Amino acid sequence: MNDLLINKTTLTPQIQFLTNGTLLIKGISTPENTMGFYKPLYSWITEFKSTDPARINLILEIEYLNSTSTKAIVELLILLDKIREEGTPVEVMWRYEKGDDDMLDLGMDLQVSSKTNVVFVPVG
């Protein structure tokens, strides 16, 4: 199994899914084909789960999400929560610019929508 590395663009975030269990999504997410962009991430996580990882740490450093990307992130969090329920430790960290209440609120909304425990970390 290989790392999944996708460089950010003006419409898509940086993706850095490492086989050591550290997963990073960073930047702006407004792709024209949201499911086309996120489907490989779901597939990678499903394959990674089959390697019986010791733990998974997802770090979300989102600057902006459009509505379809928000839905895609919720689906990703639900997938990770199922993996957690099956016994793999999973931690989700939402990093947001200190004082950016809109991004904090978005992270809290994602937590509620996905029923996933999220750690909120202000940066800057």
Residue labelled with tokens 């990307």: 69
Q: What is the arithmetic mean of pLDDT over 20-38?
A: 97
Number of neighbouring beta carbons within 10 Å of residue 105: 11
How would residue 13 be classed by pLDDT, with cut points 50, 70 and 90?
very high
pLDDT tens, position by position, 50-70: 999 999 999 999 999 999 999
Sketch the domain layout of the chain as residue ranges.
Answer: 4-123
Q: What H or E segment, with its residue span, contains residue 23?
A: strand 22-29
CATH architecture of structural domain 4-123:
2-Layer Sandwich (3.30)
User: What's the mean pLDDT in 91-115?
Assistant: 93
CB atoms within 10 A of CB 45: 19
Q: What does the block give as tokens for 18?
A: 């490492």
* DSSP 3-state of 101: helix
